[in-house]
Amino acid sequence: MQANLEVLEGLVRRLDINVPMEQLEAEVQNRLKRMARNVKMDGFRPGKAPLAAVARQHGAGVRQELLGETLQSRFGEAVQAHKLKIAGYPRFEPKAGQTAAAEMTFSARFEVYPEVKIDALTAGKISRPVVSLSDADVAKTLEVLQKQRRTFEVSERAAAEGDLVKFDYQGTVDGVAFEGGKGEDFAAVIGEGRLLKDFEQSLVGLKAGASKGFDVTFPAEYAAKELAGKAAHFEVQVKEVQAPVLPAIDAEFAKALGVEDGDVDKLKAEVKSNLEREVKRRVQTKLKEQTMELLLQKSTLDLPQSLVAMETDRLLKMTEADMQSRGVQTMKLTTDMFTGQAERRVRLGLILAEIVQANKLVAQPDQIRTLIEEQAQSYEEPEQVAQWFYQNPERMQEIESLALEENVVAWVAGQAAVEDVTTTFEELMGRA
């Protein structure tokens, strides 16, 4: 078998593969004969159709199928012979100007994986947040849990931040009412952001029975385009003010949060344990983000466009499926919207693969076990969740990928300059 390799532009290569057509045609006839033993055709009993009739109906399909199989087989042999690493899939085309002959030549056009060059990382800098959880952090988290389980009761005082206010409203733009600008018995909690900030703040200080007029300017990026950037006047009539009532942090509160015996100290210990897991996850995420940026800056490689196209298509389909599952209808998605993200993901994937291979990094069993346990702890029945991971090959592959990423981050941290930065829990969570 001949398979001449030609180097084209960049990562593109071409292999010319010769296919003996007589041999192919003989195999076509053999397959048609085997098919004729069982094939069902109108006017004939099963397996009794003449070979000529079977050939007329199925010959072209069988020939195309066998040609595809032959090209894939010979292409695979040629790839091994030339020791090529193929990126994506080859595209086969018959060479131009050929006439019927005992042998035909097909060109397989494809891309190979690039050489990845990674400069020295010693000059790179990475900041590692160092967080010491305090009792105050636990108390703030408990307060958030209290607010999630709050109730409201009618109050005679003026509305303040955090109160639930029920009101009627009427809005106009240039003196003209607009769609959605009128409502009755509308209820909103001041400070939750359900309404425009200026609208919410205008409710502060009003008691039940009070009325007020005020102006609000819609943001330039407001969803309703006909109102974006415009000034509106609103008249509101407050019907009721309800003040929040937080549940006490007691045995009943602890039981509601899954502590069966109602022990408040156990609840606090569990909250702190959850915060520690979240701190570890956030720190690892920040290290990973900085690591990936550093690797992108220090690496040089050509991108296989076939891989970019495949990743772009995957991202598009994944986004369409997600939107469909959530019932979201929006503008038609195009591949151009995902090209940049796809290029970044492919580039990083190739860089990480090079580091893993060059440094013989592997996902250790204890790493995988720890990652599974950490993820399982977020659920009510962690043992069952962990078992589900072990029984699901796709999930196990994801966990192994996470472990390898951790190993790459650790490897880069061993090369670059890592600075520990004292950080509060609020700063780490982006709330400071």
The CATH number for 313's domain is 1.10.3120.10
**The pLDDT value given to residue 2:** 53
Q: Which residue has the tokens 């069902």?
A: 40
Report helix, strand or coil for 317: helix
Residue 252 inside a domain? The answer is no
Which pLDDT tens digit goes with each residue over 83-130?
999 999 999 988 877 776 678 888 999 999 999 999 999 999 999 999
339 and 290 assigned to the same domain = yes
Residue 183 DSSP code: E
> Does 199 score more than 90 pLDDT?
yes
424 and 275 assigned to the same domain = yes
**The pLDDT value given to residue 175:** 94
**The pLDDT value given to residue 381:** 84
Q: What angle do CA 132, 126, 401 make, to 5 degrees?
A: 90
**The pLDDT value given to residue 432:** 58
Number of compact structural domains in the chain: 3
Residue 120 inside a domain? The answer is no
Give the confidence band of 3 by pLDDT, cuts at 50, 70, 90: low
What does 403-419 look like in DSSP terms, one character per residue? HHHHHHHHHHHHHSEEE
What is the average pLDDT score of the chain?
91
71 and 130 assigned to the same domain = no
Q: For residue 228, what are the domain limits?
A: 151-245
Residue 212 inside a domain? The answer is yes
Residue 36 inside a domain? The answer is yes
165 and 193 assigned to the same domain = yes
- Enter the tokens of residue 94: 């018959």
**The pLDDT value given to residue 100:** 64
Q: Quick one: what percent of the chain has pLDDT higher than 70?
A: 98
Q: How many helical (H) and strand (E) elements, i.e. helices and strands, does the chain have?
A: 12, 13
**The pLDDT value given to residue 330:** 62
Residue 140 inside a domain? The answer is no
Q: What is the mean pLDDT of residues 218-227?
A: 91
Please state which of the ranges 97-101, 126-130, 270-274, 292-296 shows the lowest mean pLDDT: 97-101
**End position of a domain, from candidates 245, 277, 300:** 245
For the whole model, what pTM was predicted? 0.76
18 and 104 assigned to the same domain = yes
235 and 282 assigned to the same domain = no
**The pLDDT value given to residue 27:** 86
276 and 312 assigned to the same domain = yes
The answer to whether residues 5 and 24 touch, using CB atoms and an 8 Å cutoff, is no
**End position of a domain, from candidates 202, 218, 245:** 245
42 and 85 assigned to the same domain = yes
Residue 118 inside a domain? The answer is no
**End position of a domain, from candidates 245, 272, 299:** 245
Residue 178 inside a domain? The answer is yes
The CATH number for 239's domain is 3.10.50.40
**The pLDDT value given to residue 285:** 94
Please state which of the ranges 78-82, 126-130, 155-159 shows the lowest mean pLDDT: 78-82
208 and 276 assigned to the same domain = no
**The pLDDT value given to residue 114:** 96
Alpha-helical regions (H) of 299-392: 305-325, 339-358, 365-376, 382-390
Among candidate residues 160, 233, 158, 218, the one with its CA nearest the CA of residue 190? 160
169 and 129 assigned to the same domain = no
